[in-house]
Amino acid sequence: MSLILIVDDVAAMRQQYAYDLKRLGGHETVTAADADEGLDVLAREPVDCVILDLEMPGRDGFAFLREHQQKGLTVPVIVYTGTGSYDRCVRAVKLGAYGFLAKEEPLERVVQEVDNALQWARLTREVKQLRRSVGHDSPLIGESTAMRALKEQIGRLAPIPSPVLILGESGSGKELVARLLHDESTRRHGPFVTVNCAALPDNLTESELFGHERGAFTGADRTRRGAFENAAHGTLFLDEVGELPVAAQAKLLRVLEANTITRIGAAREIAVDARVVAATNRDLDAEVAGSRFREDLLFRLNVHVLRVPPLRERLDDVPLLAEHLLTATCAKFGGHPKRFASEVIAQLTAHDWARNNVRELRNVIERLVIASDGDVITLAAMPALVDGRTASKAAAAPGRTAAPDNAAPGHTAAPLTLKESKTAAELQIILAALERNGWHITNTASELGLADHSSLLKIMRRHGLKR
């Protein structure tokens, strides 16, 4: 259910639009009589789309658009005008309007335009989230028996509405599996909403999941939809579900049983239409035994379980994965495509990847790409594999040497000089920050506390990193 704000100084017009949007489009509406009231409503209510009259006495539609743009708001605005002046419409679009209509357009067209705008907003949100989640867009690579079995299970579970629990070690590909469950389901055109249960402060978890009404608690200055509502017609991915606070676990269980949610501070229940997929790298049975996870919730979630095997149990997949990750990394760094010498693949395949599975392989390959000058990555670059990790450990915990399982089999590395360690650590810090910020240079520079974006570009050039 979407909420549409109608801003028009003529009460009859507002009411007509509100009535027809409800009747023809099934939308909820709020109305405002002028630009200022409209901006107030926008700040207060979870508005999904605005319909705006350009001609209003006092501060008109253009003033509304300017302020909307200045605030960096992303809610789509559709403007309409009675004068039929094309120039005014163009001006509005330049000020960030999503689209325009003439007042005499049939209401069906208006509803259609609103639906398009809603779809656009949803896609924009999703693309943003996709860009943020690193490497999500890669398909699930692997032809080992274990991976084939997993893909087959995904195909079976994707179409059904029941919750699915994904278990697997860190970096093994749980998020990718959750995406695939969504992409192969009939909900694929709906949103895929991720909540990282480990990343939320305890006091905000329930609001994040279920939403809240304005004034529900101190600081709740506007009504907010929760993840369950945002995931309507789509999939709600509860990542690291093992970290969910126990109080929130109880609420989640009730939601899964009743299929309705109540925003915090609200009286009315809202039907839930989100498919729940949960993932954890914890042993939930042990969590239950230690009273950190509710047994009844586990029983609700573990009707369908997908186990993502650790990479060391499917080393057959390493060559394919390595090639795939190499192509992706070269494309990302914008350099020449490179390839592996066969001895490199052999050595990668002999490693046990016990620490971070495919993510660890991905990081090693990034380092290999950076460490190699030519088009072929040879064993000569391999010390970077081992030493890079040693260096990162040394940077995190000075004075400690890396654990023996860090070393690739058959390889002993010479210790790094201080300068080399510093370079490796800097590269890692920069890459991680770039990833976190979706390779947005200015944001990354400001997160790292650099003076400006050109300082960051300078460091990137030194490491051979390209946007």
Ligand X SMILES: Nc1ncnc2c1ncn2[C@@H]1O[C@H](COP(=O)(O)OP(=O)(O)OP(=O)(O)O)[C@@H](O)[C@H]1O
- Per rule CB under 6 A, count of chain residues that contact ligand X: 20
State the minimum distance, in angstroms, from the CB of residue 414 to ligand X.
30
How would you classify the pairing of strands 274-280 and 3-7? Answer: unpaired
Query: Which does residue 264 bind out of Mg ion, ligand X, none, counting CB within 5 to 8 angstroms by kind?
Result: none
Separation between Cα atoms, residue 37 and residue 58, nearest integer Å:
12
What string marks each residue from 315 to 354 as x (binds ligand X by CB under 6 A) or -?
A: ------x--x------------------------------
Instruction: Pick the binder of ligand X from 24, 93, 121, 134 (CB under 6 A).
Output: 134
Most distant pair of Cα atoms in the chain: their distance: 81
DSSP result, 204-225: HHHHHHHEE-TTSSTT--S-EE
Task: Name 83's Cβ contacts closer than 8 Å, sequence gap at least 6.
Answer: 55
- Sole binder of ligand X in the list 8, 53, 113, 175 (CB under 6 A): 175
Q: Of residues 25, 38, 61, 171, which one binds ligand X by CB under 6 A?
A: 171
Of 212, 351, 359, 367, which lies in the binding site for ligand X, with binding defined by CB under 6 A?
359
Q: Which of 25, 61, 76, 142 binds ligand X (CB under 6 A)?
A: 142
User: By C-alpha distance, which of 311, 375, 322 is closest to 347?
Assistant: 322
Pairing relationship of beta strands 49-53 and 77-81 according to DSSP bridges: parallel
**431 and 467 Cβ atoms separated by less than 8 Å:** no
Build a one-symbol-per-residue string for 361-380: x at contacts with ligand X by CB under 6 A, - elsewhere.
-x------------------
- Residue 163 vs 168, nearer CB to ligand X: 168
Q: Is 173 in the site for ligand X (CB under 6 A)?
A: yes
Distance from the first to the final alpha carbon of the chain: 39
Residues 6 or more apart from 71 whose CB is under 8 A from it?
Answer: none
Q: Do residues 294 and 190 make contact, with C-beta atoms less than 8 angstroms apart? A: no
Give whichever of 42 and 325 is closer to ligand X, judged by the CB atom: 325
Quick check: helix, strand or coil at residue 48? coil
Of residues 88 and 355, the one with the C-beta less far from ligand X: 355
- Binders of ligand X among 279-318, rule CB under 6 A? 281
Q: How far is the CB of 436 from ligand X (least distance, A)?
A: 13
Please choose, from the candidates 188, 181, 172, the residue with its C-alpha nearest in 3D space to the C-alpha of residue 277.
Answer: 181
Residue 301 CB, nearest approach to ligand X (Å): 16
Supply 446's token pair: 């400001």
Which of helix, strand or coil describes residue 360?
Answer: helix
Q: How many residues are listed for the chain in this entry?
A: 467
**Using rule CB under 6 A, residue 205 touches ligand X:** no
Among 33, 63, 141, 288, binds ligand X (CB under 6 A): 141
Residue 170 sits in the site that holds ligand X (CB under 6 A): yes
**Residue 303 near residue 162 (C-beta atoms within 8 A):** yes
173 binds, options Mg ion, ligand X, none, Cβ within 5 to 8 A by partner type: ligand X
Beta carbon nearer to Mg ion, 11 or 199: 199
Nearest approach, Cβ of 172 to ligand X (angstroms)?
4
Find the binder of ligand X among 61, 168, 383, 388 (CB under 6 A): 168
Choose the one of Mg ion, ligand X, none that binds residue 431, judging by a C-beta under 5 to 8 angstroms depending on kind.
none
Do 4 and 47 form a contact (C-beta atoms < 8 A)? yes
What are the tokens at 153?
């299970």
Q: Residue number with the shortest CB distance to ligand X?
A: 173
Phi and psi at residue 102, in whole multiples of 5°?
-95, 150
* CA–CA dist 445, 453 (Å, integer): 5
The distance of closest approach from Cβ of residue 183 to ligand X in the complex, given in angstroms and rounded to an integer, is 14
* Residue numbers at the binding site for Mg ion (CB under 5 A): 175
Binding region for ligand X (CB under 6 A): 134-135, 138, 140-142, 168, 170-176, 281, 321, 324, 358-359, 362
